[in-house]
Amino acid sequence: MKARSTSLRGTKKPREASGAEGGTPRSRLPHAERKAQILETAGRFFSEHGLTAQTRALAQECGISQRLLYRFFPTKEDLLAEVYREEILGHFKSVWFVELQDRSRPIEARLNDFYKDYLASVLTRRWLRLFMYASLADARMAPDYIAGVVIQLLELIVQEVAAEQGVDLPDDKDLLHEAAWVLHGAISHYAIRRHLYHAGSTLPEDRVVRMQVRMFIAGFQSYFEAEAEPSG
């Protein structure tokens, strides 16, 4: 079907970007390059079709034979593990920790910028679908990510918000985490709605983030001021 190319193919010249039917080998690539290409394609592929999708379909999407996958990864599980490491853990920017602590700017502006970037860099359709498939399949996937990265983020955020508002925070770590989750969860769920549920609104993302952040800051202040002053 795809061998419909316009003939005149000189002597041996390998054709590019065509299906996998002939016997003619496709363009040869050095090991590292081919592996990177497979991982890139696999990220997209498993994100869309789930971790139970078949290696043959992945190979076809890569434009290579199924056998070739096994020159780079001993088993499908090893391939999945590498995809997970790259796609899930590889999008976090350490600069966020710095920027969120820049007290020369109002916390509202810092949070607006951070979450705008976090939505664009981490909470993408691809990341969310992979993360969800992995979480559903393996109970240990999500906790590692959350414990390793998100918790630090949450602690930093409550600290910065409280500092700007001059409120005293209780010592209960779990309570503080949960308070920061109010914002982080709401924005995460907004991304889930858009990319997984396909039920996003027509509002521009910026506006949603700004509303979320502003409501959070006001709610946070109200809540912890009232907590700190039990007297009516």
Partner DNA sequence: ACACTATGTCGTCAAGTGATGACATTCAGG
Partner DNA sequence: CCTGAATGTCATCACTTGACGACATAGTGT
Q: How far apart are CA 8 and CA 125, in angstroms?
A: 42
100 binds, among a second copy, DNA, none (CB under 5 to 8 A by kind): none
166 sits near DNA (criterion: CB under 7 A): no
Contacts of 81 (CB under 8 A, 6+ apart): none
5 binds, among a second copy, DNA, none (CB under 5 to 8 A by kind): none
The 10 Å Cβ neighbour count of residue 67 is 9
Q: How far apart are CA 32 and CA 89, in angstroms?
A: 20
Q: Which residue has the tokens 């700190």?
A: 228
169 sits near a second copy (criterion: CB under 8 A): no
HSE of 15 in the Cβ direction (CA atoms, 13 Å)?
17
Q: Which of 2, 85, 103, 193 binds a second copy (CB under 8 A)?
A: 193
- Closest CB to DNA among 34 and 116? 34
The 36-75 contact track toward DNA, x by CB under 7 A, reads ----------------xxxxxx------xxxxx-xx--xx
- Closest CB to a second copy among 4 and 198? 198
Question: How many residues in total does the chain contain?
Answer: 232
223 binds, among DNA, a second copy, none (CB under 5 to 8 A by kind): a second copy
Residues numbered 48-87 forming contacts with a second copy, rule: CB under 8 A: 50, 52
- Closest CB to DNA among 13 and 198? 13
Q: How far apart are CA 160 and CA 110, in angstroms?
A: 10
- Closest CB to DNA among 25 and 200? 25
Q: Which of 1, 4, 7, 31 binds DNA (CB under 7 A)?
A: 31
Of 152, 130, 151, 131, the residue nearest 142 (C-alpha): 131
Q: How far apart are CA 15 and CA 5, in angstroms?
A: 9
Q: Which of 2, 14, 99, 109 binds DNA (CB under 7 A)?
A: 14
Report, in this order, helix, strand and coil percent for the chain, each rounded to 5.
65, 0, 35
Write out the residues near DNA by the rule CB under 7 A. Answer: 12, 14, 20-23, 25-31, 34, 52-57, 64-68, 70-71, 74-77
